[in-house]
Amino acid sequence: MMFPGGVSNSELQQAAADKVKNDQLQTETQRQKFTEQVHTLTGRCWDVCFADYRPPSKLDGKTATCLQNCVNRMIDASNFMVEHLQKMEGGKGMV
């Protein structure tokens, strides 16, 4: 069956399947970036909170708070940078 513009049903199905694949790939790429970010934050905060000694077998309150605060600050900094870059990008046409 041909649709307006000379597009066949199989071409429409293929285009729909391609879109689904692209959406899945994009989702998986975002998931991978998130996982990489978690590992990066964990590594950096681990170095900050355990800089002077080996980590204990059980996490104490002070160290847990350090890790939580460290991750929160890094997330805040990352969000700030993203917002700043978006504002800069949005203001390019303005002089």
**32 pLDDT above the threshold of 60:** yes
SS3 of residue 94 by DSSP: coil
pTM of the predicted protein model: 0.53
Q: Is residue 41 part of a domain?
A: yes
Identify whether the C-beta of residue 48 lies closer than 8 Å to the C-beta of residue 73: no
Average pLDDT value over all residues in the chain: 81
C-alpha 72: how far from chain center: 15
- Structure tokens of 94? 């303005």
The CATH number that applies at residue 69 is 1.10.287.810
Range(s) of the domain holding residue 44:
8-90
Query: Residue 5: exposed, middle, or buried by beta-carbon count in 10 A (0-12, 13-18, 19+)?
Result: exposed
- Domains identified in the chain, total number: 1
**2 pLDDT above the threshold of 80:** no
Q: Is residue 1 part of a domain?
A: no
Q: Give the whole-number percent of the chain exceeding pLDDT 70.
A: 87
- Structure tokens of 56? 């204990």
